[in-house]
Amino acid sequence: MPDQLPPRPSRTRPATSPHTRETEDQRFLRWTETDRERAAEFTHTDQWRVLRILGEFVSGFDELADLGPAVSIFGSARLPLDHPACLAAEALSARLAEAGIAVITGGGPGIMEASNKGADEAGGASVGVGIELPFETGNNGWVNRSLQFRYFFVRKTMFAKYAQGFVFFPGGYGTLDEFFEILTLMQTGKLTRTPIVLYGTAFWSGLLDWVVNVQIGGGMVSPSDRDLVLLTDDVDLAARTLIDAIADVIR
């Protein structure tokens, strides 16, 4: 009897259960107790923080991309609105708004609130770039374009990227931090040279004297870098300096 040929392979696909092989969508949508624990743990990793940081940059860029000419104003959050420095900040911001220049602040009280008040009452763009802090909640009531951030360095980028001028009123560590950050960016050419106004000679003169006598005197800073800063007590001079410089930029 001749040898029998082996059976031909079937051309029919074997029946499979729809759950035999898990798809990526199933993995993504599945939500077990273990998955919940892993997800919660992942939100505390650096990889997740990078996504949050990216989201903050995108949100800030989207909100401020069409802002137009602007000045960032810094100063103490602890001064009352009737303090002379706050009244000067309010008057300066009103002048800027009347010239079509937006005012950007940290959105808090004190100098920031006074600046936002001056800009808003003059019909200008009054931007509050807020930060999540244990002792501050939300932006002040004079902000008409509001942003909130978790990370200081993202917030600092918004102050620098969208401003064509900077004003520093008397303030604490945060004000000094922002001042030297902007000064360093401008000194190193990372930021286009634009006006930096220090308002309040009684407050700022001692610091500038130290820069001249110790840093410049010791050869650690170039003498010409002192010229990056205008020190004044004159709101009109500060306003004219900023408005004229911005007009040259946007022509």
Give per-residue pLDDT as tens, 64-90.
999 999 999 999 999 999 999 999 999
List CB contacts of 226: < 8 A, sequence separation 6 or more: 208, 211, 212, 216
Q: Is the pLDDT of residue 190 over 60?
A: yes
- The CATH class of the 67-250 domain is alpha beta
Domain boundaries, the chain: 24-65, 67-250
Cβ(242)–Cβ(232) under 8 Å? no
Give per-residue pLDDT as tens, 118-128.
999 999 999 99
Residue type, 12: T
Other beta carbons within 10 Å of 211 = 17
- Average pLDDT estimate for 97-107: 97
Whole-model pTM: value is 0.83
Q: Are strands 229-232 and 126-131 parallel, antiparallel or unpaired?
A: unpaired
Q: Give the Cα-Cα-Cα angle 127, 174, 205 (nearest 5 degrees).
A: 105
CA distance 170 to 137: 22
